[in-house]
Chains A and B, each alone.
Chain A
Amino acid sequence: MSFLSKLVTLFGLVLLTHAGYSAHEHTVLFNNTRLALPHDIIVETLVAVVIVSIGLVLGADKLKPISWRDWAGQIERDGGARNPYLGLEERYGFWDIRAQVEPVLAMALRLCSRVSGIVVEHALTISQAKRKEFGDWMRGQDLPAKQ
């Protein structure tokens, strides 16, 4: 509702209230319902009705075009933000999953190989040490026999 239509409606309602109050006072004063209302109250009421009607009509919501093509054309002209099918019209194509995943995968592999390299190296050192120990022990057993 625009400011103008609000103002017009408000003015009409004030007129209508005034007319109603005048009619009330008139009946209280003369205490006779058969006595016709003064003309100015009648005219005021009718004018108020016309003014409020104009205000309400001006303040009514904007109508939307009902034909599909007019409606769709209006949406396109507005930039398509209100398009209910926007989610379908602009969506991702099929992903090349390898192109998306390959860098990640390569990094993971590198990481894995580094970690496993360290582990293997460690295991090798341990096993070398163990082997040496075992060899020494064996040799230690053999030595007295040789002597």
Chain B
Amino acid sequence: MAPTKQELSLLINPLVPEAVQHNNRVLSSLHSLTAFLLGLSAGILALQSATGFAFYFLGTVLVSGLFHLALIQRSSGAGAGAFFPGSNGGEIEGSVAIGKDGVVRMDLVESSKKRGGFVLRKGAWRDVWFGGGVLSEALSGFVLGWTGVGGVLR
């Protein structure tokens, strides 16, 4: 069976597991902190049931958006692809294939050549917007803050 594009990407552009772990940890700690904060404010605002969860999702979108903006700004425009492996397990943007002579070659997309020469991973924005435990640990932190403050204030 011919190797998939993802396998070829990892072959010629390996990931650094330590860096991937570090980035995920930064993202998830940010989301836990802000989710608790959103919980506190939802409690202050006395939101109830669906409104509270809608508030949580809006707040998370705000935080993810800010994080993405900061990330783009700090990496001179490279974007999430340089820092998160993406949903395809590290597949790069651009083409990568085995040539007739058996040599694996990649061709980065034009945009990634312009952005500081970083290798960009496909679908990495999903990691920024949906990753970091937004629907698991961070959500439970939100509910904790929400119910806690709601109970104390009323």
Partner-B contacts on A (CB < 8 A): 16, 19-20, 23-24, 27, 33, 37, 41-42, 45-46, 48-50, 52-54, 56-58, 60-71
24 contacts between A and B (CB under 8 A): A16-B41, A16-B44, A20-B43, A23-B45, A23-B153, A24-B152, A33-B154, A45-B44, A49-B37, A52-B37, A53-B34, A54-B66, A56-B30, A62-B74, A63-B23, A66-B16, A66-B23, A66-B82, A66-B121, A67-B13, A67-B121, A69-B13, A70-B117, A71-B19
Is A27 a contact partner of B153 (Cβ separation < 8 A)?
A: yes
Quick one: which of B49-71 are within 8 Å of A by CB?
59, 62-63, 66-67, 70-71
Count of B residues near A, CB < 8 Å? Answer: 43
Nearest-neighbour CB distance to chain A for B147, whole angstroms, equals 14
Within 8 Å by CB of B41, from A33, A48, A68, lies A48
Within 8 Å by CB of A64, from B23, B41, B119, lies B23
In addition to A20-B40, A60-B30, 15 A-B residue pairs with Cβ atoms within 8 Å of each other are A16-B37, A19-B41, A20-B44, A41-B44, A49-B59, A53-B63, A56-B33, A58-B70, A60-B70, A63-B22, A63-B74, A66-B15, A66-B20, A66-B82, A68-B13
Residue B38, interface by CB 8 Å: yes
Nearest-neighbour CB distance to chain A for B128, whole angstroms, equals 10
- The CA of A49 and the CA of B85, in the complex, are separated in Å by 30
Residue B46, interface by CB 8 Å: yes
Residue B26, interface by CB 8 Å: yes
Within 8 Å by CB of A33, from B34, B44, B46, B149, lies B46
B residues in contact with A24, CB < 8 Å: 152-153
Residue B84, interface by CB 8 Å: yes
Counted as pairs of residues, one from A and one from B, with CB atoms less than 8 Å apart, the total is 111
Residue B83, interface by CB 8 Å: yes
Is A65 a contact partner of B83 (Cβ separation < 8 A)?
A: yes
A residues in contact with B38, CB < 8 Å: 49
Partner-A contacts on B (CB < 8 A): 13-16, 18-20, 22-23, 26, 29-30, 33-34, 37-38, 40-41, 43-46, 59, 62-63, 66-67, 70-71, 74-75, 82-85, 117-119, 121, 149, 152-154
Contact A65-B46, Cβ < 8 Å, known A27-B153, A56-B33: no
B residues in contact with A70, CB < 8 Å: 82, 117-119
- The CA of A61 and the CA of B23, in the complex, are separated in Å by 9
Is B66 a contact partner of A57 (Cβ separation < 8 A)?
A: yes
